[in-house]
């Protein structure tokens, strides 16, 4: 499984880090109309210059901020006494910064008083340092429980190489996203969502495509939560002798119903503390799992139920095992889960006081993620071999160890249900109901009604997915192919290519001189001349990079298509050889 945090979900991190008042100031839309591409570059350049001149020491805060937030939410009087002076101090400091900015960078020129206040509020909230980036990105190490399964699918040596290769390429993609963000983000026209980058570099069609895939990804995620929690509950009910039984679809339905109840709560409140606690709980599962697996036999019952494997000696393959190609590819796309945090990189950078430091925090975080996933995978795979399970701790044969891990897993799964169900549905609500359908705002009375109906529909779809695809490995691979892979590997080179082409295509346009006035263009993207200039202009070095990004994009797109084929084929195999059936009562873990 992947991480159960807002980070992995690719959602608005500010919801768990700021109060409702701060969040409203940060996310409230400005009245200014959309700017031209040249103006995005103009204001971004000035914003970067301001950040480079800022020598303020940044003290990144992790648990301390969360604990203070928890206390403040439960002690209104203390909040009023302590927070108001702090906010006043922030405001005074930012007033001084604002005055300096007006003189040096003219960020506030032509803006209404309301927009100036919002811009100032955004500047106040950009306080995170590179250590905070590390803290947020490493949330992806929360649940590397599919790492042994991924390595077992393609062999020890190829598994290690591909984990490292995916990590290196994910880092390169992260650097691309960082460069794009630095060139286009400003306090006046901020980038806070992945879709903002898609729209400014390629066009609104990519923004809508990314938003659609994001919605699909979040929905499959909660379906995966229902499935894994259902498996854990099924094993607990079965007992040490496997005599207990409850219809598996019912166990999945139980967690869907729990999600519906939790989902009715619109505010996150104390979930932030629980989300961080789940880090340590999942690490506990890792150590317990390895300890029991080293002293017991694999779970042959679960292996037969999922893959039709009969009991036998543990076999470990150093090279690619003799399995069908689609099984190997499905294992590869299970690896993508380790690097699924790219969707929230723009949101993290939007919180940083000096965004140029982002790469430092991301590099350390990615290195830790690779280390944790590989260490767990290469330790457990030799212990269980071909019998390893996609949800690794369900492969324990000793009931006591299995139950301990399952109970802890259910706790972290319930936390995940609250987070994904709440934040994930908010993302879908804002993208679909508010932006596309122009529906009521989330905090209005009519919004409350639409939200409640959306919760029921959202978790109903999650139940159908979890019960209809009773294979964790297949559903995880499908999620990687449809969601995580595109945001980490497919879209970044396309957006980088779009950015470079727009910059070079504008070389012969009228220079940008006046904020708010779009420079005159000599042609449009409907003309072949602009496409030709955008691709060929800029010099030999830039042309080479454009070709590299184009090949990178096409290769990633083809790989994603192959992943969809493999996961679909593996799903048919899993339903054919496994004990569990779609919407049936047999458990996929025996």
Interval 546-558 mean pLDDT: 96
CA distance 168 to 173: 9
Structure confidence at residue 17 as a pLDDT band (50, 70, 90): very low
Q: Which of 179-193, 370-384, 392-406, 469-483 has the lowest mean pLDDT?
A: 469-483
Structure confidence at residue 528 as a pLDDT band (50, 70, 90): very high
Interval 477-502 mean pLDDT: 92
- Contact yes or no for 582/499 (Cβ under 8 A): no
Q: Which of 5-14, 157-166, 535-544 has the lowest mean pLDDT?
A: 5-14
**Tokens matching residue 434:** 């508010």
- Contact yes or no for 466/587 (Cβ under 8 A): no
Query: Which distant-in-sequence residues (6+ apart) come within 8 Å of 40 by Cβ?
Result: 183, 184, 186, 189, 200
Nearest alpha-carbon partner for 420 in 466, 377, 374: 466
- Identify the H or E element spanning 284: helix 271-293
**Long-range contacts of range 521-526, CB-CB < 8 Å, 24 or more positions apart?**
none
Q: Over the stretch 23-41, which tens digit does the pLDDT of each residue have?
A: 444 444 444 456 889 999 9
Taking the mean position of all CA atoms in its chain, how far away is CA 424? 10
Total length of the chain: 590
CA distance 194 to 10: 9
The percent of residues above 90 in pLDDT, for the chain, comes to 26
Which one of 135-144, 173-182, 183-192 scores highest in mean pLDDT? 173-182
The percent of residues above 70 in pLDDT, for the chain, comes to 76
- Contact yes or no for 164/373 (Cβ under 8 A): no
Nearest alpha-carbon partner for 32 in 43, 21, 24, 22: 43
Average pLDDT score, the chain: 79
Q: What is the 3-state secondary structure (H, E, C) of 231-271?
A: HHHHHHHHCCCCCCCCCHHHHHHHHHHHHHHHHCCCCCCCH
CA angle 547, 350, 426 (to 5 degrees): 100
Q: Over the stretch 119-139, which tens digit does the pLDDT of each residue have?
A: 666 665 566 677 767 766 665
CA distance 507 to 533: 9
At residue 590, the pLDDT reads 61
**Tokens matching residue 372:** 């944790």
Interval 325-334 mean pLDDT: 89
Residue 103 has pLDDT above 80, yes or no: no
Q: Which of 2-6, 282-286, 310-314, 425-429 has the lowest mean pLDDT?
A: 2-6
Q: Cα separations (Å) of 446 from 201, 433, 439, 440, 441?
A: 35, 12, 9, 6, 8
Interval 37-52 mean pLDDT: 88
Structure confidence at residue 467 as a pLDDT band (50, 70, 90): confident
Q: Over the stretch 481-492, which tens digit does the pLDDT of each residue have?
A: 888 899 999 999
At residue 72, the pLDDT reads 57
Residue 450 has pLDDT above 80, yes or no: yes
CA distance 347 to 128: 11
CA dihedral 48, 488, 146, 587 (to 10 degrees): 120
């Amino acid at each position: 499984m992947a991480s159960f945090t807002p980070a992995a979900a690719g959602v608005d991190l500010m919801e768990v880090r700021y109060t409702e008042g701060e969040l409203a100031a940060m996310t409230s839309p400005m009245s200014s109309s959309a700017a031209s591409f040249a103006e995005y570059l103009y204001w971004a350049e000035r914003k970067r210059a301001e950040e480079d001149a800022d020598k303020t020491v940044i003290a990144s805060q992790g648990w301390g901020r969360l604990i203070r937030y928890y206390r403040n939410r439960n002690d209104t009087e203390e909040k009023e006494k302590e927070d108001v002076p702090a906010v006043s101090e922030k405001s005074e400091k930012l007033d001084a910064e604002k005055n300096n900015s007006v003189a040096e960078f003219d960020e506030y020129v032509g803006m209404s008083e309301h927009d100036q206040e919002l811009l100032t509020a955004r500047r106040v909230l950009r306080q995170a340092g590179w250590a905070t980036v590390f803290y947020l990105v490493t949330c992806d190490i929360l649940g590397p429980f599919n790492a042994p399964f991924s390595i077992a699918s393609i062999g020890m040596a190829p598994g290690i190489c591909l984990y490292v290769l995916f990590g290196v390429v994910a880092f390169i993609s992260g650097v691309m996203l960082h460069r794009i963000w630095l060139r286009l983000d400003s306090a006046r026209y901020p980038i806070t969502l992945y879709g903002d980058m898609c729209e400014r570099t390629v066009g609104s069609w990519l923004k809508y495509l990314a938003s659609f895939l994001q919605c699909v990804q979040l929905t499959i995620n909660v379906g995966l939560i229902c499935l894994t929690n259902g498996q854990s509950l099924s094993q607990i009910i079965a007992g040490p002798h496997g005599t207990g039984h409850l219809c598996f679809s019912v166990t999945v339905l139980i967690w869907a119903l729990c999600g519906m109840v939790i989902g009715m709560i619109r505010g996150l409140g104390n979930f932030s503390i629980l989300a961080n606690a789940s880090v340590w709980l999942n690490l506990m599962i890792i150590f317990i799992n390895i300890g029991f697996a080293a002293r017991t036999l694999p779970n042959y019952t679960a292996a037969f139920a999922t893959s039709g494997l009969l009991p036998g000696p543990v076999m470990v393959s150093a090279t690619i095992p003799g399995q069908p190609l689609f099984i190997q590819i499905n294992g590869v796309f299970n690896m993508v889960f380790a690097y699924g945090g790219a969707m929230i990189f723009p949101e993290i950078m939007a919180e940083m006081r000096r965004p140029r430091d982002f790469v430092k925090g991301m590099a350390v975080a990615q290195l830790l993620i690779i280390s944790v996933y590989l260490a767990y995978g290469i330790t457990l795979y030799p212990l269980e071999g071909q019998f390893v399970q996609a949800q690794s701790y369900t492969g324990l044969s000793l009931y006591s160890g299995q139950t301990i891990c399952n109970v802890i897993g259910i706790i972290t799964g319930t936390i995940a249900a609250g987070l994904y169900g709440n934040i994930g549905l908010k993302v879908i609500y804002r993208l679909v109901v508010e932006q596309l359908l122009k529906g009521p705002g989330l905090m209005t009375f009519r919004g409350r009604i639409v939200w409640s109906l959306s919760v029921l529909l959202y978790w109903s779809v999650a139940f159908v997915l979890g019960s209809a695809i009773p294979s964790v490995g297949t559903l995880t691979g499908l999620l990687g192919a449809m969601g995580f892979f595109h945001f980490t590997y497919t879209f970044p080179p396309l957006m980088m290519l779009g950015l470079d082409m727009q910059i070079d295509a504008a070389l012969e346009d009228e220079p940008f001189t006046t904020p708010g006035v779009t420079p005159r263009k000599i042609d449009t993207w409907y003309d072949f001349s602009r496409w030709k200039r955008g691709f060929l202009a800029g010099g030999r070095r830039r042309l080479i990079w454009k070709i590299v990004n184009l090949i990178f994009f096409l290769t990633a797109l083809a790989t994603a298509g192959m992943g969809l084929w493999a996961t679909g084929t593996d799903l048919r195999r899993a339903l054919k050889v496994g004990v569990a059936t779609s919407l049936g009562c047999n458990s996929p873990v025996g």
